[in-house]
Structure 1
Amino acid sequence: MSTHGFALGNLPDEYEDLRSTVEEFTREVVAPVSAEHDAAKTFPYEVVSGMADMGLFGLPISEEYGGMGGDYFALSLAIEELARVDQSVAITLEAGCSLGAMPIYRFGTDEQKQKYLPALAAGTSLGGFGLTEPGAGSDAGGTRTTARLDGGEWVVNGNKQFITNSGTDITSLVTVTAVTGTTTGKDGNEKPEISTIIVPSGTPGFTAEPAYNKVGWNASDTHPLTFDDVRVPEENLLGRRGRGYAHFLSILDEGRIAVAALAVGAAQGCVDESVKYAREREAFGKPIGDNQAIAFKIARMEARTMTARAAYYSAAARMLAGKPFKKDASVAKMIAGEAAMDNARDATQIHGGYGFMNDYVVSRHYRDSKILEIGEGTTEVQLLLIARSLGL
């Protein structure tokens, strides 16, 4: 796919065709079951199977490893369309591809890629991204999980927290960061050596604990993980020893573009629902959309959405052009996350009492969107990264 011509309302044909296809799938397959899965807090296996059949999980992965040979912008467009209606489904795709498969695609050996990527790209299996710990969230460098070599095997001990796609029936692996020793920093002081290790599901001692009772993203699979003397082959080291933390940070830089796309989809979904409601709902003898107070609120929602979309389009274009994009990804993620939360709040207000009912899409967006200001780097972390890029 071409990496040129990202413009609002003027996508190249191959991207527009993809976007349109996913829009139709979202309308016909996702929307009818979203409320049911949200209420029951069940993982939407039938929806995930449909996305797998469309090749969405393999969009940015080369055909050599079973992917579609597309790019990260294509993945982001698909995520945006899904998130308009169902953020749980969108984050399942985002995490399955950008967090589950991409570490192996970016840093794995050819043998690891051949072994794991075809199923991940096909969407017949899911991978988790084991970075966050009970005491290491924004401070991901404070990893306490350990891995030591013993007789040609890594012995992993520790805990991970808030790990998406880690406990489904089709989860095949989790890549985890672990302290594998110590190294000397530029300042001459010792610091933890953090590496990344592939842990297949079903390995003795690896337990996906009971799922969280969450505020939102109820149909997304999220678990704490326990590693108790988990033994995996030495060749399950992913990337260079001691580069695990750096590898995962680069994965997060890419992932922030995809999460920004998800947030834009959520923000757009709130606009769509609010326009529809404002046209249909009458008060004092006329549609509420005839009132400037309502019309202007929706206009601001649309402005936020367009601004956030332009930001993630720009970050994706820089990434695909091989230009530095870390700051751009942080800007996009921050702006989009705030737009989603602000739009969800406004959409709920526009819907009045109905907006507080779980039967309405905006109520789910209200519950779901808060995590977009937290996950894959809080708003405060994005501000820190932006400030550092400016030399502050």
Structure 2
Amino acid sequence: MPATRFMPTPEADDLIALTRGILAKELVPRVVGAERTETFPREVFRVLGHAGLLGLPYPEEYGGGGQPYEVSLQVVEEIGAVWASVGVGVSVHALSCFGLAEYGTEEQRTRWLPDMLGGELLGAYCLSEAHAGSDPAAMKTKAVRDGDSYVINGAKAWTTHGGQADFYKVMARTSDDGGRGISCFLVPADTEGLVSDPPEGKMGLTGSHTTTMRFDNVRISADRLLGTEGQGLSIALAGLDSGRLGIAAVATGLAQGALDHAVAYAKERRAFGKAIIDHQGLGFLLADMAAAVESARATYLAAARLKDAGRPFSRQASIAKLIATDNAMKVTTDAVQVLGGYGYTRDFPVERMMREAKVMQIFEGTNQIQRLVISRDLAR
């Protein structure tokens, strides 16, 4: 059964209903085939964009939905419950738009943001490097000013939508001044010298392509600098708090989807004369799964409401990401257990969901990094 939601407005209720209708029509029929063939579902993102679901937290004047994070994250959760690769993609796209929306000039926003929020331009986010994942200040990719241009050289690892995106939000070093020497750029995908390695062979989220992007004398006009030189790391870190909430929402949706499949199976499967859900051992396991899902949802919504109120939410975002992704790993693993041998086969989606849950504990900052963020905030 779908999640029970208490939305803040009738408009938000309608938005959830719209989302569920699109998911049933456009995503459910495609998810199994695309994940098995590792096919990137570009058209799905275009459909979501045309429906207004890619730019929900951004201003209406630029083609966004003007919705609070409390609402937009619940839409992302609904998507994650059906297709985690797409849910992650929606979160990453929103993160890719963040630098332009928050730090771009009015001319830059007017020029690029409507097509980005409308789904015509799909984004990717280039921060991590092979040697600089949890420590982005150690990045080596450089952007050198040359007249009215910047020339970028280096490589960015673990790029979601790599090779498929239409633009890349890129963090690159413009000086040797540590974290204060990093700047943020918006790089078109068709720029000469920008190439993608083949997609990584991943355990899960195989419908989402993750690649290394290589910058070989990539020349872009200087008007594609977002903010000022040296502001890039602060732009990246500010966006990551919202990105962590996006992943928390996807993970919660993934857990909800696994719970729904497990409950449906447990109601139908019979053993010793009754449905297995009526056996206390299985019933209590499902109860714990439901409690984990509800707890994760409440945690990310509490952080979202702080953000919507303009209050600090960095620690709460890390807590939400930590709780939701750890719970998703537990819930999906238990869903496989509920289905027994069938849960271990590809005839049922819970084995895929368990594989997808693992990476949720790793990207947007590993859960060890989240604990570091939380503990440092407590120590202040």
TM-score normalized by the length of structure 1: 0.93
8 Å contact from structure 1 (residues 79, 94) kept in 2: yes
Equivalents in 1 of 2:341, 2:279: separation in Å? 18
8 Å contact from structure 2 (residues 180, 233) kept in 1: no
Please, which runs of 5 or more residues in structure 1 have no aligned partner? 1-7, 184-189
Q: Which residue of 1 aligns with 2:199?
A: 211
Post-superposition offset of 1:11: 1.7
Percent identical: 38
Post-superposition offset of 1:118: 1.0
Q: 1:193 aligns with which of 149, 160, 181?
A: 181
Q: 1:246 aligns with which of 234, 237, 243?
A: 234
Letter in 1 for 2:316: D
Q: Which residue of 2 aligns with 1:120?
A: 116
Letter in 2 for 1:78: V
8 Å contact from structure 2 (residues 137, 179) kept in 1: no
Q: Which residue of 2 aligns with 1:81?
A: 78
Letter in 2 for 1:61: Y
Equivalents in 2 of 1:46, 1:194: separation in Å? 34
Q: Which residue of 1 aligns with 2:42?
A: 45
Letter in 2 for 1:47: V
Q: Which residue of 2 aligns with 1:176?
A: 170
Letter in 2 for 1:329: A
What are the superposed Cα offsets for residues 210-257 of structure 1, whole Å, 9 maximum, x if unpaired? 111111111112211000111111221111210101110000001111
Please, which runs of 5 or more residues in structure 2 have no aligned partner? none
Larger displacement relative to structure 2 (68-77 or 103-112): 68-77
Larger displacement relative to structure 2 (363-372 or 14-23): 14-23
Post-superposition offset of 1:90: 0.7
Letter in 1 for 2:332: A
TM-score normalized by the length of structure 2: 0.96
8 Å contact from structure 1 (residues 75, 258) kept in 2: no
Aligned pairs for 1:155-174 (under 5 A) are: 155-168=151-164, 171-174=165-168
Q: Which residue of 1 aligns with 2:6?
A: 10
8 Å contact from structure 2 (residues 255, 328) kept in 1: yes
Q: Secondary structure at the match of 2:154?
A: strand
8 Å contact from structure 1 (residues 103, 251) kept in 2: yes
Aligned pairs for 1:86-101 (under 5 A) are: 86-97=83-94, 99-101=95-97
8 Å contact from structure 1 (residues 263, 336) kept in 2: yes
Equivalents in 1 of 2:43, 2:34: separation in Å? 11
Compared with structure 1, are the counterparts of its residues 191 and 362 closer, same or farther at alpha carbon in structure 2 (3 Å cutoff)?
Answer: closer
Equivalents in 2 of 1:87, 1:309: separation in Å? 16
Determine if the alignment matches structure 1 residue 328 to structure 2 residue 316: yes
Q: Secondary structure at the match of 1:57?
A: coil
Q: 2:339 aligns with which of 351, 365, 381?
A: 351
Larger displacement relative to structure 2 (289-298 or 64-73): 64-73
Determine if the alignment matches structure 1 residue 66 to structure 2 residue 53: no
Post-superposition offset of 1:191: 6.2
Equivalents in 1 of 2:225, 2:257: separation in Å? 41
Q: Which residue of 2 aligns with 1:187?
A: none
Equivalents in 1 of 2:106, 2:185: separation in Å? 16
Equivalents in 1 of 2:68, 2:216: separation in Å? 37
Q: Secondary structure at the match of 1:390?
A: helix
Aligned pairs for 1:193-342 (under 5 A) are: 193-342=181-330
Post-superposition offset of 1:116: 1.4
Equivalents in 1 of 2:210, 2:108: separation in Å? 25
Equivalents in 2 of 1:162, 1:247: separation in Å? 19
Q: Which runs of 4+ in 1 moved over 6 A?
A: none
Equivalents in 2 of 1:216, 1:355: separation in Å? 16
Aligned residues: 377
Determine if the alignment matches structure 1 residue 56 to structure 2 residue 53: yes
CA RMSD of aligned residues (A): 1.6
Post-superposition offset of 1:192: 5.7
Q: Secondary structure at the match of 2:54?
A: helix
What are the superposed Cα offsets for residues 174-218 of structure 1, whole Å, 9 maximum, x if unpaired? 1111110133xxxxxx76611111211111111122111111111
Equivalents in 2 of 1:191, 1:357: separation in Å? 47
8 Å contact from structure 1 (residues 85, 361) kept in 2: no
